[in-house]
Structure 1
């Protein structure tokens, strides 16, 4: 049933391109910390090459993935077919946070459509790709993207977003610092 690969193959890339949602999993090294699982919508993921992907990370009520990546880099990105033939595809790798106004941001940002509320790019060096059957995943029909977050971000404005990030995105729910928080605390964003 399950198969393991060292890289993203063309058939994997085709499968990923058809998905309207993906999930990102991360966790701190401490067994006492929270495991985080976040859904991601919109056209925010790019396959850079057979062993690297990146996604545009939009503002959220927390910034757990960022804190976990800062601590240990471990990340899993999961795609599952809700339409068509069943399949689950996971990308296992080491992630890093790329913040605005850095050379790496300047190199990657043109690959994305900048959406209101963008806070960072998450880049992942993929060391293993695993597929599994997905036989028990139910069918769901895609109706469209929600634009609620973008409307919220536009209404907040740049100063409002900075204030929100300072309140909600500087540290994780387990008290771990995030790269965004470190940059905000020095006034460099």
Structure 2
């Protein structure tokens, strides 16, 4: 039932941009596989083989550590309303932090969100769809506001201190590449 493509078609781009949640999977060569749910208005398909997404400050920074080590990333979307579909985009990513070369050019595609920690820039090498027949129907109510509210209250200095304390090393002890 799975079908593979070399790029993201306009129809698949529309599907991606309609979804309220997506999942990011990465893994180091040795250590724990990471799978993170993401939401809010944080992702854009900017070319048939390129996706960017904004990562906000949180309790960990596993994705950044894995991307720094090997670049491998998979994104996945599941239709929870309408026609069933699962979509995966496989590729190689790089991390771009605020203040680094290229950040401003990528950031114009995304909302200015408090707590922005980095943008991941994924070059998509393969896209695969599958049926999604076992994915349940779910109704979207609204985005949660707690993370943005928390980040807004921190201010730049407290946010930087939090990131330096909580986000510089992965759970496997790998560096995340977060600037000092």
TM-score (norm 1): 0.94
Structure 1 unaligned runs (5+)?
Answer: 185-189
The residue that corresponds to 2:138 in the other structure is 140
Secondary structure of 2:102 counterpart:
helix
Deviation, 1:103, is 2.1
- After TM superposition, the structure 1 = structure 2 runs for residues 26-175 of structure 1, keeping only pairs within 5 Å, are 26-30=26-30, 33-175=31-173
Tell me, in whole angstroms, the C-alpha distance in 1 between the residues paired with 2:27 and 2:14. Answer: 28
Instruction: Extract structure 1 runs of 4+ deviating beyond 2 A.
Output: none
- Give the number of the structure whose residues are more often helix, by fraction: 1
Tell me, in whole angstroms, the C-alpha distance in 1 between the residues paired with 2:138 and 2:165. Answer: 35
Root-mean-square deviation (CA, aligned residues, Å) is: 0.7
Secondary structure of 1:131 counterpart:
strand
Report how many residues are paired: 180
Tell me, in whole angstroms, the C-alpha distance in 1 between the residues paired with 2:19 and 2:104. Answer: 27
Structure 2 unaligned runs (5+)?
Answer: none
The residue that corresponds to 2:5 in the other structure is 5
Tell me, in whole angstroms, the C-alpha distance in 1 between the residues paired with 2:35 and 2:112. Answer: 23
